[in-house]
Copies of this chain bind each other. A is one copy, B any other.
Amino acid sequence: MSRHTVRLRADARRNREQVIAAAREVFLAQGVDAPLEEIARRAGVGIATLYRRFPDRRTLIREVSLDAMALAAAQLRAARAEEDDEWAALVRFFHAVLETRIGTVLPVLLGSLGMEFSPDDELWASRSQLVAELDELVRAAQRTGRLRADVGVGDVMLGLLKLLRPLPSMRLLGDFTDTLNRRHAELFIDGLRGPAVPRPVLAGPAITAEVVDRYLAEQQRTAPGRQDQP
């Protein structure tokens, strides 16, 4: 979106994007204190590359937040423009958050990220803008009666954020995580519906005790010792 001070070489720009994407996931999973080496590893770049682009942690957090915020704003506007009504737009935004791992942005939205904003900061301004837009969407959806009236944007966003956050020591469940996230989001969304609004049936099989145990057995067979990297 914004041109940077100097034009980066193609590979450098690609690496920069990958670092930001990796940081988004890692921050979401472990918080903003996560080791930077892990981020570099996930991005598939060396640690030096990360430091070259982002001199210290604060810078990285800031850039990641700005990026995620822009992504979220774009998704939100697309949803409003292309969906029929406000509730549909809200649900679509939720799914976008889920799929683009944008959740990192949400703590920023609510101001609870571990960094201080200076009040006139660019980041703070865009956060307030986004919160205002989301708040407006929530209220609009409530006016149509499809979103229950006794919640606010804080309830909605923080709940969603928690549901989408990976659990620690959940490696065992592996790629199962995505399925679970989707189901949890759907359940939460159903809890948000207005009182008399019909709800769809959840996709996929219910996660019963047998399903969990089958996965566990599978994982234990393929990875007997603890194994942190795939």
Contacts and interface: CB of A to CB of B under 8 A. Distances in A.
Interface of A: 30-33, 107, 110-114, 116, 131-132, 134-135, 148-155, 158-159, 161-163, 165, 167-173, 180, 183-184, 186-192, 195, 198-199, 201-202, 205-209, 211-213, 216, 226
Given A112-B169, A163-B159, A169-B114, A212 B154 contact: yes
A186 to B, nearest CB: 8
A173 B208 contact: no
Given A159-B184, A163-B162, A187-B159, A209 B135 contact: yes
Given A154-B212, A162-B167, 19 more contacts: A31-B168, A33-B168, A33-B169, A107-B167, A110-B212, A111-B213, A131-B209, A150-B206, A151-B183, A154-B207, A155-B180, A155-B207, A158-B180, A158-B184, A159-B180, A159-B187, A161-B167, A187-B191, A188-B191
- By Cβ-Cβ distance, the 6 closest A-B pairs, closest first, are A31-B168, A191-B191, A154-B207, A152-B208, A152-B206, A190-B191
Contact of A153 (B110, B135, B167, B207): B207
Nearest to A205: B152
Nearest to A154: B207
Contacts of A134: 209
